[in-house]
Amino acid sequence: MGEKSYELRPEVAVAAPARTADGYEEIVCELRARLSELGAPSPVLAVECYPGVDLAELRSQLVGPLAPAVALVADDYAWEPERLEARIADTLTDDRVFGVMSHYTIDQFFDDELVARARADLRDAPAGLRVVLGTGATLLCEPDLLVYVGLTRWEIQLRQRAGIPSWRADNADEDQLRKFKRGYFFEWRMADRAKRALFDRMDYVIDANRPGRPTMVDGAGYRSALAEVARRPFRLVPYFDTSVWGGHWMQERFGLDPDAPNFGWAFDGVPEENSIILRFGVTRVEVPAVDVVFREPDALLGPLVHARFGAEFPIRFDFLDTMGGQNLSLQVHPLVEYAQDRFGIHYTQDESYYILDATERSCVYLGVRDGVEKDELMAALRGAQEGGAPFDDARYVNCVPVRRHDHVLIPAGTVHAAGPDTVVLEISATPYIFTFKLWDWGRLGLDGRPRPVHLDHGESNIQMTRDTTFVEHELVSRYSDGPVPREERTGLHRLEFIETRRHWFEDAVELECHGSVNMLNLVEGVSARVEPVDGGPALEVHYAETFIVPASVGRYRVVNTGGGVAAVIQAYVRGAE
């Protein structure tokens, strides 16, 4: 295993030519030249912004130096917060965590009268440049030049924690769980629909993730880059966060901030949440990885996976770290029909725990004990939640010791939790917030408030047939030594749609995509090189790094470059061939 070789900011070097700019001065020069090339006396520039972009900074550093005859802020023409809040109340619900997936589009929150007024303000302005800036800018004008300004979701979350409000909301001081819920179920869905409709029209894309330090690429270069990414192995930019139960394995192994209290979890393979860094020469543009899914679904996912899931990446890899920490909450995930009926999602949060590292104390809580009845289980959980005796987990729930390379399968409806001193590579379906906490060991969250517990949701989904006997026979794949090279089927359970294979090798192993996008992690070894068999850019990876091989690659080779024995865990969608 490697020490601190994990790459925290992986990049994709783009071969396609592109026009780029670094910093506001270069961006303004590029836009000024492009506007001049248009030859129009009063050109219209739309600067369409993803919610969370700092509009004040853009007004000062981008729009101001262009000296427009008129500049409108699109957000000023949208619905007032109170009216918008009333419209989306059924989507947000009263729950701190869960809402209902919305199908709103941004135009629904701009009245025709105000749109007409904005267009009149542009038309009646003195001769010269006309600029519309903000979320919904393209609703208010027919731009001669369209600039799209984006943010990654992690950056949005960090800004919300620092106090920015949600789009068209007076909620700067609202707790982060509710802000995130608003984004996940409403705001980001709406903004992504708008972005997808603009892909072919974008003249430039600006990366606004670093305050005061934007970068820009022309639209054609950006679209070419997304096409490149969808046809070569690549990594996402991971992010890490603290947790009330968090450990220190990632902190030490990956060289994370040593002054942080812990790092409990990380997203290393979630295109809906992670980003990619596109490097055009010396210019780096960081964009949401989901843009590749939206723009190139057939090449990335494979035609059959695209047909089944739509433009949605179905596999998720992430880390859970309790090494030197505490148990995760005891929890359960919804059955498919419950997830569809209550939350409007297509499929549910089936998952598995691949044990990346462990000690003698490591364990996973999994399924109910033989003979336990649901009524007595729920009575004990409710009593503990209401301040009675602590929940007696040893009486009701199985505690399964685990060691490195064991693979624990957790189909929806199975009570589970990771125990102490356990590093989990979670290999799962993409939905990731639909966790019904059943017992949280009496803890408060990092915000000092009780963490949300959802016993009513949990009771409707706990499958009591997932008992000790079922767990032992169906849900635990134990690691055992064997000859090298070898291929092992480790799961997931037959109730889940993801197939996982572990490959052990000393020199190299050749793998097949099976008609599906592949997600992998180097779970043993120091380093490896991932090479498409039919040619194309290779990818260097290190121990514990997750990487993606698009379906379009077909066949690829993983070459051990670190010596000794190496292993990768490979995940793909079953039945896509």
3-class secondary-structure state, position 566? strand
- Cα gap 455→540, rounded to integer Å: 45
Question: In 52-123, where does DSSP find H-type helix?
Answer: 55-58, 64-66, 81-87, 89-92, 112-123
Q: What is the DSSP letter of 59?
A: I
Q: Tell the burial category of 112 from Cβ atoms under 10 Å away from its Cβ (0-12, 13-18, 19+).
A: exposed
Residue 564: CA count within 13 A, CB half-sphere: 10
Q: Which residue has the tokens 């104390």?
A: 361
Beta strands (DSSP E) in 151-282 are 204-207, 215-218, 239-241, 265-269, 275-280
pLDDT in tens, 378-406: 999 999 999 899 999 999 999 999 999 99
Residue 217 near residue 19 (C-beta atoms within 8 A): yes
Residue 258 is predicted with a pLDDT of: 96
Contacts of 9 (CB under 8 A, 6+ apart): 237, 277
Q: Report residues of the chain scoring pLDDT below 50.
A: 1-2
- Cα gap 524→566, rounded to integer Å: 5
Contacts of 202 (CB under 8 A, 6+ apart): 146, 147, 148, 219, 222, 223
3-class secondary-structure state, position 243? coil
From-to residues of CATH 2.60.120.10 in the chain: 327-477, 486-573
Residue 361 near residue 418 (C-beta atoms within 8 A): no
- Cα gap 493→466, rounded to integer Å: 12
Domain 20-229 is found in CATH 3.40.390 = no
From-to residues of CATH 3.40.50 in the chain: 20-229
Positive/negative CA dihedral, 194, 195, 199, 203: positive
Residue 100 near residue 90 (C-beta atoms within 8 A): yes
Domain 486-573 is found in CATH 3.40.50.880 = no
Query: In this structure, which CATH number among 1.10.357.10, 3.40.640.10, 2.60.120.10, 2.40.50.180 belongs to the domain 327-477?
Result: 2.60.120.10
Residue 99 is predicted with a pLDDT of: 97
Residue 414 near residue 466 (C-beta atoms within 8 A): yes
